[in-house]
Amino acid sequence: MSEPVIRPYHSSDREQVRRICYLTGYLGDPADWFWRDQESFADMFSGYYTDLEPESALVVEVGGEVSGYLLGCVDSRRAWNPGVVAARHALRRGLAFRPSTARIYWRSITDLVHDLLSGQGTLAPFEDERYPAHLHIDLLPVARGMGVGARLVRRWLEELTAKGVPGCHLETILENTAAVAFFEAVGFRPAGRNLPIPGWRTPDGRRHHSQVMVQDLGRDRGEH
């Protein structure tokens, strides 16, 4: 097979990016078993990046097919909150009442109320002026394990450094141990509390937890 090619995102990649988002949406596996609606899922996790900040997105082609992406955001205050996107879909498209998605919607709300009341939850997204940028990265299995993820992250961090951005963060799932190991390998370190994520469960019903990771860039790199 030919060498993977990393290139800037074009608007013609949008559908494939949304497809990959859904196909890798549960710890690298398809999200369809718990969220049976690709449109709302992709809107939550890739919509802002493809539609409002496409200049910060990179894709990788393997054998001529777009097989992964890094979706970046320079100033996280501008990004959409996935919870707000989900709520909009629930109202406009009735997903809170469709058999295919009602369960996850109502479970998310019940979890959120429980977590807020027990002091384990928050409605506020991660915000720290030292790490204003963030990223999402997802590769189809065909693109994994060849150094592509590390190349994508390196390229994104170089772009941020050139812009003078002081740091970058990301949010992954604590139980996605492969992703946490990958992000540590490319220079991120864990930060903050591991809060339960409303609605997200293992197939046998155990809850998932968030893991924020951060990396300093530019002059401060490596000093924290």
Ligand X SMILES: CC(C)(COP(=O)(O)OP(=O)(O)OC[C@H]1O[C@@H](n2cnc3c(N)ncnc32)[C@H](O)[C@@H]1OP(=O)(O)O)[C@@H](O)C(=O)NCCC(=O)NCCS
| Closer residue to ligand X, CB minimum distance, 8 or 141 | 141
| Closer residue to ligand X, CB minimum distance, 90 or 179 | 179
* Contacting residues toward ligand X, per CB under 6 A: 24, 27-28, 137-139, 144-150, 172, 176, 178-179, 181-182, 185
Distance CA 196, CA 19 (A): 26
| Closer residue to ligand X, CB minimum distance, 24 or 56 | 24
Distance CA 43, CA 21 (A): 10
Residue 102 CB, nearest approach to ligand X (Å):
26
Distance CA 8, CA 59 (A): 6
Q: Which stretch of DSSP H or E encloses residue 173?
A: strand 167-173
Closest C-alpha to 26, from 150, 173, 129: 173
Distance CA 7, CA 66 (A): 10
| Closer residue to ligand X, CB minimum distance, 111 or 138 | 138
218 DSSP assignment: G
Question: SS3 for 101?
Answer: coil
Distance CA 173, CA 112 (A): 17
Q: How many other CB atoms are found less than 10 A from the CB of residue 93?
A: 14
Describe the crossing of helices 82-92 and 102-117 by its angle, rounded to 10 degrees: 130
| Closer residue to ligand X, CB minimum distance, 27 or 74 | 27
| Closer residue to ligand X, CB minimum distance, 4 or 95 | 4
* Residue 130 · residue 168 · CB < 8 Å: no
